[in-house]
Amino acid sequence: MEKAKILDALKEGAIQEANFEDIKYFPFLEEWKDIPRGTVVIEERVIPSYPRIARIMRIASGVPRHFKGPFLVEEKVDGYNARIAKVSGKMLAFTRSGLICPFTTDRIPDLLPTQFFNDHPQWVICAEIAGPENPYIEAHPPYVKEDVRAFVFDIIDEKGNFLPPLEKWEIIKAYQLPAVENYGVFEPQEIKRLYELLNRLNEEKREGIVLKSLDGGKRLKFVTPFANLHDIEVSSELLEELPPHFYINRLSRLIISLDELGKKCDDRLFYEAGKALLEGFEDALNKFKRQRRIYHTFSCRFHNPERAEALLQLLNRASSTIRVKKRSLIRENGFWVLTFDKVFLRSTSLLANLLRGQAVFD
Amino acid sequence: MEKAKILDALKEGAIQEANFEDIKYFPFLEEWKDIPRGTVVIEERVIPSYPRIARIMRIASGVPRHFKGPFLVEEKVDGYNARIAKVSGKMLAFTRSGLICPFTTDRIPDLLPTQFFNDHPQWVICAEIAGPENPYIEAHPPYVKEDVRAFVFDIIDEKGNFLPPLEKWEIIKAYQLPAVENYGVFEPQEIKRLYELLNRLNEEKREGIVLKSLDGGKRLKFVTPFANLHDIEVSSELLEELPPHFYINRLSRLIISLDELGKKCDDRLFYEAGKALLEGFEDALNKFKRQRRIYHTFSCRFHNPERAEALLQLLNRASSTIRVKKRSLIRENGFWVLTFDKVFLRSTSLLANLLRGQAVFD
């Protein structure tokens, strides 16, 4: 990106200066002209954004429609996206929107071997950070039982291009980077093989797959029926907070994917879907009646306690409808363990009004 | 309403001329200045709109908040709203939006005794029309087993004012008008009595109650847990057609109302809620795979077959996302029975795209 463009963006207010420790940087928190959301300008470098991946809901029609030749299939891990880079000698992790994440940055040494960056100082690692102790999302893969782990799924070179999938896997192996599972190369007509894979992933309660053309130019995602139900279950406390299509889209995807995998809705599924949708909201209501707020408690581990404080600040600044309240920051097993509540202001005030007997037109 | 105002509305395009048989009339299909949606100007008369009724989700807090003195409680019947009037000697029924409904109009002689209008030619009867054979909605009360019935719940006098509730009930009795159930006068502190009533209505699978101040100035509604589930169940074919909050609002109301009535979500409810949400959409998907469209079949009875055709025209004009297709119009037991499909274009094309494997960003 040319300097002139960045100066333009600054002048037009498209980017603002952000700070992390002694580093000054410029994240594009929103798309601006042809610069995608999440792009970061930092110390004379540009960290490219990670692109959104389109979804298909049918394998048998969608795969041959979008892929004319062989493609790689990788696991889709249920976590949050981080881009990891070494900038001016310092390891940093960026969120999807382009902010430096104090938590992920703090934990990079635990997440992956960083000698990779000695050989490729200008490259960027794209990884899903997943596990029960993360500050962002409530879902996590069943095989991460505590803390978080990194699952590398892409590498961006010094020119800002993704390594082609097979080349990327050579690098992942050479540097022993922790990575998503690689299910190998498929041909567009191998629908049955994809069904077998997806049925297995569904039984293993995994999120789904990402399909990548071998030239790296095309990516598509497909999620398992399980993952649709799981997303609803972990979010049903927020039934009056999240946009309603969050739940409805997952219900229709659930039905459409079950149908393709040859499964019918049975009584067990009806029960599980009803429970996933209702139980959390009932719990939230009961919690609200005692504590007058809708909140969720998060916990995560830090080496540096100042970064725990920086995370809380970041989360508070990032949303006008979520307020973060620290519960505790205590030393435990060699870490600083931060525990905090995210208070969801929209559903808190909505529920307060409804329970107060306010009349609404709907 | 003064003539000048109507001429203004015509000039500004706020109303357009509509026609029904040999009658010319002017419905306010949208609110305009201080004239509410649904107001109708017809043959030198103004038929007032029926106002929206606000909802409360909690009885114990909401009732004393909104009523400082005694109020009447009436059944809320699950049907569609019609205003019935005699205009220039002709009995007519108007929809909520102000159009003359050919179906309801055709059936007025079966719905209620019209000698009422001999004594009160300028009055308007407000009734819920409910039953399995109606052209508008899929839900209906369990005690209407076939065709439709009218349930009067309000009367508007020649000045455009609602009769106060007790006076209205005198008229209903005097003219033997078919009416919603009258549960009597309550005091704001009679919460337990309201709970008992609502528990009974819930068991009887009724929709809920409307609370009306004795001066007729204030109306509020409250629906039973059952009705929330029932609405979802009869609409789940349209999971990708209706706005997502249709379903989510009903789920949260279900939980909030069960909680107030002292019931907990149990396994039976989880099962029923999941089934209500998913079964219809699975059926719709299977129907779509055979017939390439999402539709629902309606049936209703007419005396005059021309009015059946007029209804189809009205329905086709009323929505840009619903197309109506006649299946049959046949003579049966003294009626003309019209059967038609409403084809839901939005979910039809969405589902076609998804099943075709189209990639979507969401």
Mean pLDDT of A120-148: 97
Look at residue A52 and give its three-state secondary structure.
Answer: coil
Q: Give pLDDT tens digits for B318-359.
A: 899 999 999 999 999 999 999 999 999 999 999 999 999 999
Q: Is B194 on the interface with A (CB under 8 A)?
A: no
What is the ipTM for the molecules in this complex?
0.94
- Amino acid present at B196: E
**Distance between CA A50 and CA A62 in Å, rounded?**
23
Q: Is B255 on the interface with A (CB under 8 A)?
A: yes
Q: What residues have CB less than 8 Å from A137, skipping those under 6 apart? A: A78, A79, A80
| Residue from A39, A66, A33 nearest A51 by CA | A39
Mean pLDDT of B281-299: 96
Q: What is the pLDDT of residue B296?
A: 94
- Give A-chain residues touching B358 at CB under 8 angstroms: 56, 62, 65
User: Does the beta-carbon distance from B357 to A249 stay under 8 Å?
Assistant: no
Q: Is A262 on the interface with B (CB under 8 A)?
A: no
Q: Give pLDDT tens digits for B247-287.
A: 999 999 999 999 999 998 999 999 999 999 999 999 999 99
Phi and psi dihedrals of A326, rounded to 5? -70, 135
**Distance between CA B343 and CA B349 in Å, rounded?**
11
Q: Is B282 on the interface with A (CB under 8 A)?
A: yes
Q: How confident is the model at residue B6 (pLDDT cuts 50, 70, 90)?
A: confident
For residue A215, CA distances in Å to A69, A194, A219, A265 come to: 10, 20, 10, 38
User: Does the beta-carbon distance from A277 to B275 stay under 8 Å?
Assistant: no
Q: Is B60 on the interface with A (CB under 8 A)?
A: yes
Is 0.90 topped by the overall pTM? yes
CATH superfamily of B50-221: DNA ligase/mRNA capping enzyme (3.30.470.30)
Cite the residue boundaries of each domain of chain A with CATH code 3.30.70.2160: 292-362
Q: Is A176 on the interface with B (CB under 8 A)?
A: no
Q: How many CB atoms lie within 10 A of CB A113?
A: 11
Closest Cβ–Cβ partner in A247, A259, A357 for B61: A357
User: Does the beta-carbon distance from A272 to B274 stay under 8 Å?
Assistant: yes
User: Does the beta-carbon distance from B282 to A272 stay under 8 Å?
Assistant: no
For residue A47, CA distances in Å to A23, A36, A185 come to: 15, 11, 29
**285-304 in A: which are within 8 Å (CB) of B?**
285-286
Q: Give pLDDT tens digits for B122-131.
A: 999 999 999 9
Number of residues in chain B = 362
- Check whether A227 has a pLDDT greater than 80: yes
User: Does the beta-carbon distance from A361 to B278 stay under 8 Å?
Assistant: no
Q: What is the pLDDT of residue A13?
A: 86
Q: Give pLDDT tens digits for B23-71.
A: 999 999 999 999 999 999 999 899 999 999 999 999 999 999 999 999 9
What are the structure tokens assigned to B6, written together?
Answer: 């109507």
Q: What is the pLDDT of residue B14?
A: 86
Mutate to test the interface with B, among A238, A247, A251 (most CBs of B within 10 A): A251
Cite the residue boundaries of each domain of chain B with CATH code 1.20.58.2250: 224-289
Mean pLDDT of B97-124: 97
CATH value of B292-362 in 3.40.190.10, 3.30.70.2160, 3.40.50.300, 3.30.360.10:
3.30.70.2160
User: Mean pLDDT, chain B, as a whole number?
Assistant: 96
**Distance between CA A149 and CA B24 in Å, rounded?**
72
Q: Is B68 on the interface with A (CB under 8 A)?
A: no
User: Does the beta-carbon distance from A251 to B359 stay under 8 Å?
Assistant: no
Q: Which residues in chain A belong to E strands, given as ranges?
A: 18-20, 23-27, 40-42, 45-47, 54-55, 71-76, 80-87, 90-94, 124-130, 149-156, 182-186, 208-213, 219-223, 295-302, 322-332, 335-344
Q: Is A62 on the interface with B (CB under 8 A)?
A: yes
Q: At the top level of CATH, which class does the domain A224-289 belong to?
A: mainly alpha
Q: Is A55 on the interface with B (CB under 8 A)?
A: yes
Q: Is B24 on the interface with A (CB under 8 A)?
A: no
Strand partners, A323: A343
Q: Considering only alpha carbons, which residue of chain A is nearest residue B218?
A: A359
Q: Considering only alpha carbons, which residue of chain A is nearest residue B61?
A: A357
Q: Is B252 on the interface with A (CB under 8 A)?
A: yes
Residue B362 distance to chain A (closest CA, Å)? 7
Q: Is B262 on the interface with A (CB under 8 A)?
A: no
Instruction: Please report which residue ranges of chain B form alpha helices under DSSP H.
Output: 3-11, 59-66, 102-111, 116-119, 165-174, 191-203, 225-235, 245-260, 267-291, 305-318, 345-355
| Residue from B234, B239, B182 nearest B211 by CA | B182
Cite the residue boundaries of each domain of chain B with CATH code 3.30.470.30: 50-221
Q: Considering only alpha carbons, which residue of chain A is nearest residue B357?
A: A62
Q: What is the pLDDT of residue A4?
A: 83
Q: What is the pLDDT of residue A3?
A: 78
Residue A24 distance to chain B (closest CA, Å)? 32
Rg (CA), chain A: 22
Mutate to test the interface with B, among A282, A283, A287 (most CBs of B within 10 A): A282
Q: Is B281 on the interface with A (CB under 8 A)?
A: yes
